């Protein structure tokens, strides 16, 4: 009997502990503090990329991870890599433009957001349906053999 009670107590704690990060993941993420002191090169750059940061050369996925006609979410990097047609890879921010949830990996021909069912284009990240009205920002990538890295 005590074993059952203890297991119940642990299960309850685990459910609470798991719930906290999920809520945090759905909120707006403002903790992207980059320390750019501007030492070194000219630093006069507005490179025009709006992918929210990340390191050039960061390995995002292997080509085999990304389904043809689908997408693969790299949750740590908050990037979704798509393969609209075989061998054609694109990448976008994985943060939904509606309320900031992470979109999901899919084989269904679009990039779905689980929170309110917005769907985005594999080709250009534009919204196809749902409440989101803005496109997912493009992320520049380099595909070298089987390796997909941030450009």
Token pair for 151:
């450009």
Residue whose C-alpha is closest to residue 74's, from 55, 87, 88, 47: 55
Q: How far is the CB of 132 from ligand FES (least distance, A)?
A: 5
Strand-pairing partners, residue 150, are 141
Q: Which of residues 127-146 bind ligand FES (CB under 6 A)?
A: 130-132
Give 52 or 100: the residue with its C-beta nearer to ligand FES.
100
User: Do the beta carbons of residue 139 and residue 150 sit within 8 Å?
Assistant: yes
User: Which residue among 96, 111, 122, 141 contacts ligand FES (CB under 6 A)?
Assistant: 96
Residues 6+ apart with CB under 8 A from 23: none
Owner of token pair 């509606």: 98
Per-residue binder mask for ligand FES (CB under 6 A), 99-118, x = binder: xxx-----------x-xx-x
Task: State the minimum distance, in angstroms, from the CB of residue 125 to ligand FES.
Answer: 13
Q: Which range touches ligand FES (CB under 6 A), out of 3-11, 41-49, 96-104, 140-148? A: 96-104
The CA-CA-CA angle for residues 78, 138, 122, to 5°, reads 90
CB of 85 to ligand FES, least distance (A): 25
CB of 69 to ligand FES, least distance (A): 21
CA angle 28, 32, 35 (to 5 degrees): 160
User: Which spans of this chain sit near ligand FES (rule: CB under 6 A)?
Assistant: 96, 98-101, 113, 115-116, 118, 130-132
């Amino acid at each position: 009997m005590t074993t059952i009670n203890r297991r119940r107590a642990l299960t309850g704690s685990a459910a609470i502990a798991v719930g906290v990060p999920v809520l945090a993941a759905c909120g707006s993420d403002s903790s992207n503090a980059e320390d750019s002191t501007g030492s070194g090169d000219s630093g006069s750059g507005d490179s025009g990329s709006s992918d929210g940061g990340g390191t050039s050369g960061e390995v995002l996925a292997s080509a085999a991870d990304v389904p043809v006609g689908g997408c693969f979410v790299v949750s740590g990097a908050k990037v979704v890599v798509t393969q609209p047609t075989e061998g054609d890879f694109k990448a976008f921010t994985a943060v939904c433009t509606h309320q900031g949830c992470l979109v999901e990996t899919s084989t269904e021909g679009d990039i779905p957001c689980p929170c309110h069912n917005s769907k985005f284009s594999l080709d250009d990240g534009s919204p196809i349906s749902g409440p989101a009205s803005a496109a997912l920002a493009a992320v520049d990538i380099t595909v070298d053999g089987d390796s997909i890295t941030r450009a």
